Structure 1
Amino acid sequence: MPHPYEELKSLVEAALQKAGASPVQASTTALALLAAEASGLPSHGLSRVPMYVGHLKAGRVVGDAVPVIKNQRASAVLIDACNGFAFPACRLAIDEAIARAAQTGIAIAAVTNSHHFGMASYHLDAVASAGMVGIACGNSPAAMPAAGGKRPIFGTNPIAAIFPREGKNPVSIDLSLSEVARGKLMVAAKKGESIPLGWALDSDGNPTTDPKQGLEGSMLPMGGVKGAMLALIVELLVTTLTGAHFGAEADTFFEDEGNQPRLGQAFIVIDPTALGGTAVYGERIEALLAAMLVDEGVRLPGQRRFDLMAKAGADGGIDVTAATLDAIRALS
């Protein structure tokens, strides 16, 4: 039975505000978590509310933080999240990037002193609505080793991209750079199940099929060395240019106690009219997608997410597990 959207939003906002978040921090965070839940990604949805509440209470998040512009030029802007939740800062970054790209053709907006930024593709929906192409990336607490190493040094460092289409849902690509999500190890550990080789290393750097040892060790990057290099690119983009913490300097998200993570995010926005033009862009993207769809079984990236969001809207609410809902109610 779907739960009404506004009821869920009110519950999340109440839980966050009770723990010390300002109305703006609570509202923007609730919107992002609900979008992830409606998109079929509960690992980045309402199940995160207890974690966020714990971080507020432990001082890992500044509940009344207001993001500010720290540095800027015509096509570049740095946003300081001031150790608040990521979502208000990311919204400001996206708004600034869209406005600047409309003037100059391309813009980058980066965020520093930030927190968990949830589903990366969520932030780019506004970019596609503006008829622009967007790229997003961010780092996270260390979970993966560098190529050839065994100590966790990079986060799973997600990358997302969005490409608008005329009158249709955009192409939306969103992936983390570990072989599998860390949450899969957590689920396997709870069930007492083993995991396939190639997912994780134990604390000594040896391949393991024991999810508990994997959680104490490190996740393996997708594609081996190539995935590790992509994670390095993200780490460098969102830290060296912003002053944000490396993933290895941020304590795990899965504990209430710890430091303020001070992570980084970056968003690049491109206006097609500044290059080949809207007509060329539209013709080229539709030609490529049509060629892809000739093969039966091809599914365009992001379409499942948009279908699930549309279904949630049609159903008048979002399906949420009883355990998740009970936990939020108790906190609110």
Structure 2
Amino acid sequence: MTTTRLTLTDIESLAYRALLGAGAREPAADAMARAAVAAERDGIRSHGLHYIPIYCEHVECGKVDGRAQPTVTRPKPGAVRVDAATGFAHPAIEAGFEQLVPAARDQGIAALAVHNSYNCGVLGYHTERLAAEGLVGLGFTNAPASIAPTGGKTPVIGTNPFSLAVPGDDAARVLIDQSASTVAKSEIMMRAREGEAIPEGWALDADGNPTTDPEAALKGSMTPSGGAKGFGAGLMVEIFAAALSGATLGKDASPFSGTAGGPPRTGQFFFAIDPGAFAGGVFTDRVDALVDAIESQDGARLPGRRRFANRDRIEREGTDVPNALIDRIEAYAK
């Protein structure tokens, strides 16, 4: 596989031009291009440029409305609600954050619900933005069903990640971003596109049998991380991101891949918490003590550290992108 080394500026320009060419309005294209850059910068290839052709295809077929303008309402002082209008999740979340952040500072805690939405990419990308504002960010997003309940064969919830971002001096001190499945579904999709097998334990086929074939996995069920506990975590996310936000349940949502089914209308839910309103001034000391207890152990790794290490390296060096992928994206670009 031949590749080309791209800088983050190259990646942003390529993604932005492609999304514009597919028909997205400029603010949406800008939000999605920045998110792709962040994923590539952090070494999360499955959520970076690999998703841009899918986004473009979905704009063209109407699975996502690239011209949508989200609508923000405030049903309560500490409650923000956004109708993404079947457009991209990222600009809808950004519009909600414009009111969520001041509401959290004013109320001590505030929440944002997004419905009629779409794939929000790397969930930690969004919660980390709350941490950069000095707030504890907790986020949930649901996805089309791909995980069957323990003992069952029919998927009823999606990979359904949750993310916690804890503020530090100028960035997230701790960043937890994990899905209810053993691995993100986008990892299997990427391997299917590249013709690679998946490791044992990632997924089951349609008959409930373990498989290393990514195509069979996409027709079957993802395995929940930690068995029944992982399914329980995914169910919790479904309650927040779909039921509480008024979005479509994962079992009724159209896939995030392919052109069938129309807009998925999934949802997101975020809490933003001002630590100063609750911790009596000791929040930073407690977090520092906890982090030190983890990092002082040989071989122990704090959640988020691998992502931050990739960030430092890729910002300096750029990243290698398959030429075939660049060509697919350039085909949409203006």
Pick from 121, 127, 130 the counterpart of residue 130 of structure 2: 127
Contact 2:12 2:36 in 1 (8 A): no
1:212–1:8 distance in 2 versus 1, CA, 3 Å: closer
1:167–1:217 distance in 2 versus 1, CA, 3 Å: closer
Pick from 296, 314, 327 the counterpart of residue 312 of structure 1: 314
Contact 1:169 1:303 in 2 (8 A): no
1:205 lines up with 2:208 in the alignment: yes
In structure 1, how many angstroms separate the alpha carbons of the residues matched to 2:196 and 2:107? 54
Pick from 281, 292, 295 the counterpart of residue 293 of structure 1: 295
2:86 alignment partner in structure 1: 83
Deviates more, 1:9-18 or 1:52-61: 9-18
2:183 alignment partner in structure 1: 180
Give the length in aligned residue pairs.
329
1:32 alignment partner in structure 2: 35
Deviation at 1:140, TM superposition (A): 0.7
2:323 alignment partner in structure 1: 322
2:273 alignment partner in structure 1: 270
1:6 alignment partner in structure 2: 9
Pick from 260, 264, 282 the counterpart of residue 261 of structure 1: 264
Deviation at 1:11, TM superposition (A): 2.0
Contact 1:166 1:282 in 2 (8 A): no
2:230 alignment partner in structure 1: 227
Contact 1:94 1:267 in 2 (8 A): no
2:244 alignment partner in structure 1: 241
2:24 alignment partner in structure 1: 21
1:210–1:27 distance in 2 versus 1, CA, 3 Å: closer
1:94 lines up with 2:97 in the alignment: yes
Structure 1: any 5+ residue segments left out of the alignment?
none
Deviation at 1:183, TM superposition (A): 4.2
Contact 1:138 1:157 in 2 (8 A): yes
1:286–1:256 distance in 2 versus 1, CA, 3 Å: same
Contact 1:51 1:256 in 2 (8 A): no
In structure 2, how many angstroms separate the alpha carbons of the residues matched to 1:295 and 1:120? 28
Deviation at 1:167, TM superposition (A): 5.4
Partner SS for 1:331: coil
Contact 1:152 1:248 in 2 (8 A): yes
1:96–1:119 distance in 2 versus 1, CA, 3 Å: same
2:304 alignment partner in structure 1: 302
Q: TM-score, normalised by structure 2?
A: 0.92
1:166–1:11 distance in 2 versus 1, CA, 3 Å: closer
1:58 alignment partner in structure 2: 61
Contact 2:132 2:172 in 1 (8 A): no
Instruction: Give, as a single letter, the amino acid of the residue that structure 1 aligns with 2:321.
Output: V
In structure 1, how many angstroms separate the alpha carbons of the residues matched to 2:34 and 2:150? 37
In structure 1, how many angstroms separate the alpha carbons of the residues matched to 2:202 and 2:58? 28
In structure 1, how many angstroms separate the alpha carbons of the residues matched to 2:137 and 2:40? 22
Deviation at 1:291, TM superposition (A): 1.1
Contact 1:161 1:173 in 2 (8 A): yes
Deviation at 1:257, TM superposition (A): 3.0
* 1:277-316 per-position Cα deviation (integer Å, ceiling 9, x unaligned): 4x4011101111111122101122112222322333334x
Deviation at 1:243, TM superposition (A): 1.8
Instruction: Give, as a single letter, the amino acid of the residue that structure 1 aligns with 2:7.
Output: P
1:150–1:243 distance in 2 versus 1, CA, 3 Å: same
Instruction: Give, as a single letter, the amino acid of the residue that structure 1 aligns with 2:10.
Output: E
RMSD of aligned residue pairs (Cα, Å): 2.0
Contact 2:166 2:172 in 1 (8 A): no
* 1:152-187 per-position Cα deviation (integer Å, ceiling 9, x unaligned): 111100111111123565211111111123344446
Pick from 47, 50, 63 the counterpart of residue 47 of structure 1: 50
* 1:33-61 per-position Cα deviation (integer Å, ceiling 9, x unaligned): 11001110010001101100110111111
In structure 2, how many angstroms separate the alpha carbons of the residues matched to 1:194 and 1:114? 29
Instruction: Give, as a single letter, the amino acid of the residue that structure 2 aligns with 1:24.
Output: P
Deviates more, 1:3-12 or 1:234-243: 3-12
Q: TM-score, normalised by structure 1?
A: 0.93
